[in-house]
Structure 1
Amino acid sequence: MPDAFMEIPPLFKQGTSARMRVATFALLSIVMLVVDARMHVLDTIRQAVGTVLYPFQTAAMVPRNAAAKAADYFTSLTALQQDNQSLRQQQIVNAQLLQQERLLAAENVQLRKLLDMQQRVPVQSVVGEILYDARDPFTRKVILNRGSQQGVMAGQPVIDDVGIVGQVTRVFPFTSEVTLLTDKDQAIPVQVVRNGLRSVAYGRGQTGVLDLRFMPANADIQKGDMLVTSGIDGIYPPGLRVATVALVETRSADSFARIVCQPLGG
């Protein structure tokens, strides 16, 4: 059998030292920098490398851009919700002021003396939403999503952007019960904008119907007349729209007219 020979590694390898290699590569780098700065020979290579790496750069920035857009979305959503809440609050205040201005205009036309009128005090408003109708089928009540924690108190009037809706009758920490004007146990002092005639509107227990009871048959009231709160009860601020007269019936044999009104609020 042929003899097997094993190559024995030398104890010390001969070759270029590490310092020499570092110096060589450093010198080569300096030369390339000088040549590129003078002759711009590497611009084409840079453009090619940039073109190749562009899709990878774009892909790497996708998570960052998505996170930034998500943050902007939630920030914008919060700002829009705050603006919406503020605008709804302002809408309620403006609706109340507008309704009171209509009463003032009618009083100015009728040359009423301003000194005989009570000073109107702005009412603090709380914006709420209807959660559901009350469980009692024989009443006209709804439940709002605002309660004593938000400053709601029993007896406060409830309005929307059109007119009076009802009155807060029970308050809980986070909800409140509102009895609508159409409830059979509700009554609200009103007056006719056209001539200042005062009366009381009563609920009938039916949706969309109010009655003006005990009005003389010769009372100056017509179909289409606007009814607003008179304010004499101290509960409802004066000048808020309540209803319009839908039907006026008078009979010679009756002492009182039959007057049916259609509520505006709600």
Structure 2
Amino acid sequence: MPRALEHQHHTGFFVRGPSPIARLLFFSVLSLALIVTDARLNYLIEVRQGFIALLHPLQIIANAPLSLVEDVGAYLHTQTTLAEENTRLRHQALMHAEELQRFQALMAENERLRSLLGAAQVSSQPARLAEILHMGRDPFSHKVVVNLGSRQNIVPGQAAIDEHGVIGQVTRVYPFSSEVTLITDKELSIPVQIERNGLRAIAFGQGRNATLELPSLPANVDIQVGDKLVTSGIDGIYPPGLAVAEIIRVEADGDSPFAHIIGKPIAGIDRHRQLLLVSIPQVERPADSSAVKTNSATQKTTPTKRHVRN
């Protein structure tokens, strides 16, 4: 009886499916199709945002140990260190008090000059404090991810700045986070002007060496090493007058009609944890009197045209 049982063939408990090679080929083709569809047609943006929203609690849990360590480190600061820092800050506040008073006087004078010249008044833009969560996943691009998204009314195009100048621009927004492209990225350009002489140009990120380049400027252009680049504000994205970079190299090749101009960012694009997201500027335009004059002129000339036709 036992020998008879040994010769019986039992069917497998699990039904065998396609071979591993067939499965590998199927999922490889499916992955390539999804990648091409997302890159060409942008059909999977909503799906990606949904997954990011679902994974947001896991991201918070993953960052919890780091936040706990930082909180414990801040708690362990001694009273002596805090007292010394407080004394130093009070000394700096006294030193800057005179400069602040002069700055307020200059602002008041500037407002009076704007009113006299009839210049367009640009309202001050609100800003939101954001914290950098992590760097971008692509090692060949200069991007960071911050902890504010569409739920906090962040929109693509907002400028990212710190206390020194422009850091970059919001290029992609998710429900709870946003992607900020730094000004040194190859895909980002920013309208600038030379603070010394007002010359306007376009600065492009080089990617490598974390620098900016001003291409297509003639070899005899009036730009010197040490000149400061600020935002011109003509693009309607960046508020005018924000510091961008400092010229560190100006080279003129005899074989080329254009100069090779390199600038170094002034803002701490790779040193700080927090940044400010500035709202897109809203320009308050005064009533256009020329339109009223045009309408009145049209009304005056209309009878003349009718008389000619008759």
The two structures have a TM-score, normalised by structure 2, of 0.49
- Do the aligned partners of 1:126 and 1:150 also contact (CA within 8 Å) in 2? no
Larger C-alpha radius of gyration, 1 or 2? Answer: 1
2:217 is matched with which residue?
215
Distance 1:113 1:183 in 2: 39
SS of 2:167's partner is strand
Counterparts of 1:155-174 in structure 2, within 5 Å, are: 155-174=157-176
**Structure 2 unaligned runs (5+)?**
1-74, 76-99, 270-310
Which residue among 179, 187, 191 is the counterpart of 2:193?
191
1:264 is matched with which residue?
266
**Structure 1 unaligned runs (5+)?**
1-72, 74-97
1:139 Cα offset (Å):
1.1
SS of 1:127's partner is strand
Judged with a 3 Å threshold, the aligned counterparts in structure 2 of structure 1 residues 207 and 142 are, in CA distance, closer, same or farther, namely farther
Judged with a 3 Å threshold, the aligned counterparts in structure 2 of structure 1 residues 226 and 117 are, in CA distance, closer, same or farther, namely farther
Aligned AA for 1:263? P
1:205 Cα offset (Å):
1.2
Counterparts of 1:227-238 in structure 2, within 5 Å, are: 227-238=229-240
Judged with a 3 Å threshold, the aligned counterparts in structure 2 of structure 1 residues 206 and 113 are, in CA distance, closer, same or farther, namely farther
Please give the per-residue CA displacement for 1:214-251, whole angstroms capped at 9, x wherever unaligned. Answer: 11111111000000000111111100000000100112
Judged with a 3 Å threshold, the aligned counterparts in structure 2 of structure 1 residues 202 and 125 are, in CA distance, closer, same or farther, namely same
1:177 is matched with which residue?
179
Distance 1:155 1:199 in 2: 20
SS of 1:227's partner is strand
1:147 Cα offset (Å):
1.1
1:116 Cα offset (Å):
7.1
Identity of aligned residues (%): 54
Higher relative contact order (CA 8 A, sep 6+): 2
Higher helix share: 2
Distance 1:174 1:123 in 2: 22
- Alignment RMSD: 2.5
1:43 is matched with which residue?
none
Judged with a 3 Å threshold, the aligned counterparts in structure 2 of structure 1 residues 222 and 117 are, in CA distance, closer, same or farther, namely farther
Distance 2:230 2:236 in 1: 14
Distance 2:118 2:210 in 1: 35
The two structures have a TM-score, normalised by structure 1, of 0.56
Distance 1:217 1:112 in 2: 36
Aligned AA for 1:160? D
Distance 1:134 1:207 in 2: 17
Distance 1:112 1:119 in 2: 8
